[in-house]
Amino acid sequence: AKVEKDISREKSGQLFEEAKGYFPGGVNSPVRAFKSVYGTPLFIERGDKAHLWDADGNEFIDYCCSWGPLILGHNNDAVREAVAEQLHKGLSFGAPTALENKLASLIINNNQYLEKIRFVSSGTEAVMSAIRLARGYTKRDKIVKFEGCYHGHSDALLVKAGSGLVTFGETSSAGVPKAFAEETIVIALNDYEALKQVFADFKDQIATVIIEGVPANNGLLMQDREYVQFLREITQENGALLIFDEVITGFRLGFEGAARYYDVKPDIITYGKIIGGGMPVGAYGASNELMSHISPDGGVYQAGTLSGNPVAMSAGIAALSILAQDGFYENLEAVTQKFVQEIQAYIAQKEYRVKVFTIGSIFWFAFTDQDKIQRADEIVHESMEQYKVMHRELLNRGIYFGPSGYEVGFISAAHTEEDLSKTIIALQESLDVVFAS
């Protein structure tokens, strides 16, 4: 049954009121404002393993995991110690360090799809730079992205699709010049004809097609391998590059991410989140030949004062060293499978109209009876009301999910069997409330 009283959000509420005086909407990234769920955002004080504590002292089992980076959970011993050690040596030099070599070697030596990388400080920067490289290399301006894929907030990528087979030119943010948006063509996922038409209509004008490794920013839109292969073929035939944005899937589906999962080699890969072990790091990588076009070797300019930051590199090295150990991903995926299957069994038994989609250690609750959702427009917006109820019930039972039904959940290596069993019970009770009316 419904929990009678909501958790206390007194201190969080006060902090949020204060924050509204400092930041637009009281936050430094929009989704944190809890606009699509109940109540005021929770102000977090501390995290340890899979657990979070907010300003009111409420404790939660965390499935947001900072939106993906914390595959080892909060306050991981090795990551914390590596950062602590570096703190004594300096925070930033703006000069090369051995740490950058070490993190790069960890990545490149464990990834058959990359020969060279460049570190940046966020996913947005990684993708923005990858697009510039693709344009600089092909000497073409237009790019193709998919409706429902998020690639950060750079101008070229804040463009949405309208209706119809192929749309372009409509920005999804004020402040993006129309002329920029017109260079971005947006089509639906899993639509072979739309992409063929784009390449016919804009012959020799398309620099790149960009797709999220597995689209996971607007629900979890799992693509068929044949479709991803088709992207590889059609780009190659037309002299365009294929970019996998692996900001979420990189080091989440394994060291070689979605590229390995599909067994498709993209031309450029972008990373963020996990690569920095919880610190601000992004990267983009490609072949030696492609990367030779980046400054100072080539004519595509890209730079950063804090790029390759030593503290952030230390965190990344510590994290990736653990992920590189034998069996890490197999274990995490097995744990996730078991968790998801238990919930699915309950849903099936109760005949609730909700699906749990999953890949690797990512999961997504969709209030639908569709067995497959592969395109953004297949998600029913009204179903988010049910997510909203579930989210509140879960918080009241000490479970922290992302504050939007379009967001996926993550399981970390720090989630214990006890955490997961508690969560399953909380989920069962919460779904009972959602479907009680």
Q: How far apart are CA 197 and CA 144, in angstroms?
A: 12
Nearer to ligand PMP, 147 or 245 (CB): 245
| Binding piece for ligand PMP, criterion CB under 6 A, among 120-128, 170-178, 193-201, 292-300 | 120-128
Q: Write each residue from 315 to 344 as x if it is in contact with ligand PMP (CB under 6 A), else as -, in one continuous string.
A: ------------------------------
Q: How far apart are CA 409 and CA 420, in angstroms?
A: 13
Note whether 211 binds ligand PMP by CB under 6 A.
no
Q: Judge whether 273 counts as a catalytic residue.
A: yes
Q: Write each residue from 355 to 394 as x if it is in contact with ligand PMP (CB under 6 A), else as -, in one continuous string.
A: ----------------------------------------
Interaction residues for ligand PMP, span 128-167 (CB under 6 A): 150-152
Nearer to ligand PMP, 123 or 310 (CB): 123
Among 58, 97, 111, 124, the residue binding ligand PMP under the rule CB under 6 A is 124
Q: Which of 54, 62, 245, 267 is catalytic?
A: 245
Nearer to ligand PMP, 257 or 272 (CB): 272
Say how many C-beta atoms besides its own lie within 10 A of residue 263's C-beta.
Answer: 10
Q: Which of 273, 355, 400, 419 is catalytic?
A: 273
Note whether 248 binds ligand PMP by CB under 6 A.
yes
Q: How far apart are CA 204 and CA 141, in angstroms?
A: 10
List the structure tokens of 401. Answer: 């999910």
| Binding piece for ligand PMP, criterion CB under 6 A, among 137-145, 180-188, 244-252, 317-325 | 244-252
Q: Where are the beta strands (DSSP E) in 86-135?
A: 116-120
Nearer to ligand PMP, 62 or 245 (CB): 245
The torsion angles phi and psi of 264, rounded to 5 degrees, stand at -130, 130
Whose CB is nearest to ligand PMP?
A: 123
For residues 219 and 373, the answer to whether their CB atoms sit within 8 Å is yes
Rounded to the nearest whole angstrom, what is the least distance from the CB of residue 214 to ligand PMP in the complex?
Answer: 9
Q: Which of 63, 113, 137, 150 is catalytic?
A: 150
List residues bridging with 119 in a β-sheet: 283
List residues bridging with 268 in a β-sheet: 243, 286
Interaction residues for ligand PMP, span 58-117 (CB under 6 A): 67
Nearer to ligand PMP, 250 or 386 (CB): 250
Estimate the share of the chain in helix, then strand, then coil, as percent rounded to the nearest 5.
Answer: 40, 15, 40
Report the SS3 class of residue 393: helix
Q: How far apart are CA 47 and CA 54, in angstroms?
A: 9
Q: Judge whether 245 counts as a catalytic residue.
A: yes
DSSP string, 25-69: GGSSSGGGG-TTSSSSPPPEEEEEBTEEEETT--EEEESSGGGTT
Interaction residues for ligand PMP, span 10-49 (CB under 6 A): none
Q: How far apart are CA 294 and CA 129, in angstroms?
A: 9
Q: From 123, 127, 112, select the one nearest 69 (Cα to Cα).
A: 123
Nearer to ligand PMP, 55 or 126 (CB): 126
Among 62, 100, 212, 407, the residue binding ligand PMP under the rule CB under 6 A is 212
Among 55, 82, 127, 290, the residue binding ligand PMP under the rule CB under 6 A is 127
Among 54, 62, 183, 245, the residue binding ligand PMP under the rule CB under 6 A is 245
Q: How does DSSP classify residue 306?
A: T
Q: How far apart are CA 282 and CA 260, in angstroms?
A: 20
Report the SS3 class of residue 418: helix
> In sequence order, which residues have a C-beta less than 8 Å from that of residue 342 and are 6 or more positions away?
424
| Binding piece for ligand PMP, criterion CB under 6 A, among 121-129, 161-169, 252-260, 313-321 | 121-129
Report the SS3 class of residue 386: helix
Nearer to ligand PMP, 183 or 245 (CB): 245
Q: How far apart are CA 14 and CA 9, in angstroms?
A: 9
Rounded to the nearest whole angstrom, what is the least distance from the CB of residue 216 to ligand PMP in the complex?
Answer: 7
Rounded to the nearest whole angstrom, what is the least distance from the CB of residue 211 to ligand PMP in the complex?
Answer: 9
Note whether 434 binds ligand PMP by CB under 6 A.
no
| Binding piece for ligand PMP, criterion CB under 6 A, among 224-232, 240-248, 325-333, 358-366 | 240-248
For residues 143 and 207, the answer to whether their CB atoms sit within 8 Å is yes
Alpha helices in 118-213 (DSSP H): 123-138, 178-181, 192-201
Rounded to the nearest whole angstrom, what is the least distance from the CB of residue 65 to ligand PMP in the complex?
Answer: 12
Q: What residue ranges bind ligand PMP (CB under 6 A)?
A: 67, 122-124, 127, 150-152, 212, 217, 245, 247-248, 272
| Residues with catalytic roles | 150, 245, 273
